[in-house]
Chain A
Amino acid sequence: MNPFSGLDAHLVVSRGESFKIDIRLRVPRGRTIALLGPNGAGKSTVVGALAGLLPLERGHITLDGRTLDDPDGGVLVPAEDRGVGVVFQDYVLFPHLTVVDNVAFGLRSRGVKRGPSTTEADRWLERFGIADLAGRKPGDLSGGQAQRVALARALITDPDLLLLDEPLAALDATTRVDLRRTLTDHLAQFSGPRMVITHDPTEAFLLADEIHVIEDGTITQVGPPDDIRLRPRTPYIADLAGSNLFIGTAHDGIVSVGDHPISVADRHIEGPVLAAVDPRAIVISLAKPGGSSRNSWSTRVQRIEHYGDRVRLQTGDPLPLTAEITPAALDDLRIEEGSSVWVSIKATEIRVESD
């Protein structure tokens, strides 16, 4: 095997009688991949196997050329010797230790004396802008603060791989928006391979360079976020990746996406925003629609894909969209790839949140 800088793994683990995961992963250094899948798809099993809390049945885990688990070769490196940093779901901070002691835990476990460990932990808290929380107990932290403590705790040991298990799930909606950006910044401080395990497509699309979709213990699609979003290969991914997501600037009820204006219902939101539209909320017609739809334009159908009882249309400029209609509607419209159509979206169907 040629040495590969990063994570190279083939994970085969059974849980109980009926459930088995069998997936291959390859994460180069400096890249963030997301493992995206529904609850029960085997995501936590993947975390456990990579972290060393769950032995593989078959396959292998290699990190920067070092074998961590290889049942055939009789190799199983225990969790404490793996150098895999984990930010657990709900963070799992030690409730009996202060924030600074939580962060210093990894160094103390490696035999570093109390003084130097605390100094280093303080430095990490400083870096994450939470130096003032050093003396608090985890029970007194907000979700966002706890997330940063968990990240500092994992990174202080200088791991060779960083796993983030549902990093934003424990946060409320407004905090998520703020923290997504700081999390991206903080992740950039880690130069090794990064892996985000999540059931939340937004989390995956915004944090990852590449998405691996896991369903029932197997990988069903791998690709860059746009690829997954625009060309989903299973009905599940089509649902998951469902939303059309735009980054734009809001002013007085108009969101400018590039130089294309779209009307939204919220007239008060200002500045950078994320706008999302459900594919089912997009109306496709042959003639210019009348009525109340403020957002309508003429474009061409670029791609038509069938998923069982649904059809997805990819439309072109000025604002590429994914729309979903029924096969019956497709028949009625008599359109095919390249057809000219009108696209319209009601302002109330566009969800807008501050970015």
Chain B
Amino acid sequence: MTNTSTSPRRRQRPPAVLVILAVGGIAVFAVPLIGLLARTPWSDLPTLLTSDVVVDALRISFIASIAATAISAVLGVPLAWMLARVEFPGRSIVRGLVVLPLVLPPVVGGAALLFALGRRGVIGEPLHQMTGLVLPFSIWGVVIAATFVAMPFLVITVEGALRNLDPRFEGAAATLGAGRWTVLRRVTLPMIGPSLAAGLALTWARALGEFGATITFAGNLQGRTQTLPLAVFVALETDRGAAVALSLIMVVISLTVLIVLRERWWRAL
């Protein structure tokens, strides 16, 4: 007998070492969540959730993350299409540029935005002189910072979907008399729909969680630029209960997005 002749029953049981390590892996994700839930002041929660700080932060976060997602869609889908379908000089450089915010520390991104668009920035200064518009430390700053860090998710997801789409579908549509816009509207976009939706959801979730670039470029002014993550950071120093309540909101939002994604679109990624 050799040691390969294990009984079917034994073979079904996974190796103990793997199980222990996997449980450790689960702990990495579960322990912080348990800590958060254990410290939640459940009875004070209604008061905390309706406090000015929380309501302001919720409002700003929602407006900014949705605006950032919308801008990402308007600019990012055409960019993804160009990257996937048009061979232009410097395409690989543009591809690298697009993923840069994913690897760059957000604080660095925020600082870069400040140098470019700040009141004394390369573009910010002439912009201020001509229009009086000041981007940093305003809700515009929050939106721009969130767009900078989140749009790569949309571009990458949509570009991948476009490259996987069999070009014969678009060819078939063209032979049936569809012009380029009709092809895009009735064939390309619907066929990459699941990926587009997943990209939008990921972009929105990333925009909602943005911290470093926002605090650097837009500051931390309650009611003007203070988003949920910034409010959590401040509340940790002043009001632990509020910090927990705010964190709980973000966990619930993130989990909801994940579950919806898993149900419908995750496989498209």
Binding site for B on A (CB under 8 A): 48, 51-53, 78-82, 84-86, 88, 92, 94-97, 105-106, 108-110, 153-154, 157
Contacts and interface: CB of A to CB of B under 8 A. Distances in A.
Given A82-B175, A85-B175, A154-B176, 4 more contacts: A53-B171, A88-B171, A94-B169, A109-B173
B177 interface: yes
A105 B175 contact: no
15 contacts: A51-B175, A53-B171, A53-B175, A80-B178, A81-B177, A82-B175, A86-B175, A88-B171, A92-B168, A96-B190, A105-B178, A109-B176, A154-B175, A154-B176, A157-B177
Interface in B184-203: 186-187, 190-191, 193
Interface of B: 166, 168-169, 171-179, 182, 186-187, 190-191, 193
B175 to A, nearest CB: 5
A195 to B, nearest CB: 14
A96 B179 contact: no
Given A92-B169, A95-B191, A79 B182 contact: no
A81 B174 CA distance: 9
Contact of B174 (A52, A95, A97, A154): A52
A92 B182 contact: no
A143 to B, nearest CB: 17
Nearest to A95: B191
A96 B191 contact: yes
A78, A86, A109, A153: residue with the most chain B Cβ atoms closer than 10 Å? A109
B176 A153 contact: yes
B174 A79 contact: yes
A84 to B, nearest CB: 6
Contacts of A53: 171, 174-175
A97 B186 CA distance: 9
A51 B172 CA distance: 9
Contacts of A85: 175
B179 to A, nearest CB: 5
Nearest to A110: B177
B57 to A, nearest CB: 39
A61 to B, nearest CB: 14
Given A94-B187, A96-B190, A109-B182, A84 B173 contact: no
A224 to B, nearest CB: 29
A79 B187 contact: no
A88 B171 CA distance: 10
Contacts of A157: 176-177
A88 B172 contact: yes
B179 A80 contact: yes
A35 to B, nearest CB: 17
A80 B177 CA distance: 4
A84 B175 contact: yes
A157 B179 CA distance: 14
Contacts of A94: 169, 172-173, 187, 191
A190 to B, nearest CB: 15
Nearest to A82: B175
A105 B193 contact: no
Contacts of B182: 109
A58 to B, nearest CB: 22
A88 B176 contact: no
B166, B171, B173, B176: residue with the most chain A Cβ atoms closer than 10 Å? B176
Contacts of B187: 94
A53 B175 CA distance: 8
Contact of B171 (A79, A97, A106, A108): A79
A105 B174 contact: no
Contacts of B169: 92, 94
Contacts of B190: 96-97
Given A94-B187, A96-B190, A96-B193, A80 B174 contact: yes
Contact of A92 (B172, B178, B186, B193): B172
Nearest to B179: A80
B1 to A, nearest CB: 47
Contacts of A82: 175
B169 to A, nearest CB: 6
A105 B171 contact: no
B170 to A, nearest CB: 9
Nearest to A156: B176
Contact of B178 (A48, A84, A109): A109
B166, B172, B173: residue with the most chain A Cβ atoms closer than 10 Å? B172
Contact of A78 (B168, B174, B176): B174
B55 to A, nearest CB: 41
A53 B187 CA distance: 16
Contact of A88 (B168, B178, B179): B168
A157 B173 CA distance: 12
Nearest to A159: B175
Contacts of B177: 80-81, 106, 109-110, 157
4 nearest A-B residue pairs (beta carbon): A79-B174, A109-B178, A106-B176, A109-B177
Contacts of B175: 51-53, 79-80, 82, 84-86, 154
Nearest to B176: A106
Contacts of A106: 176-177
Contacts of A86: 172, 175
A81 B175 CA distance: 8
Contact of A105 (B166, B168, B176, B179): B176
B162 to A, nearest CB: 15
A92 B174 CA distance: 12
A33 B61 CA distance: 65
A48, A51, A81, A105: residue with the most chain B Cβ atoms closer than 10 Å? A105
Contacts of B186: 105, 108-109
B195 to A, nearest CB: 13
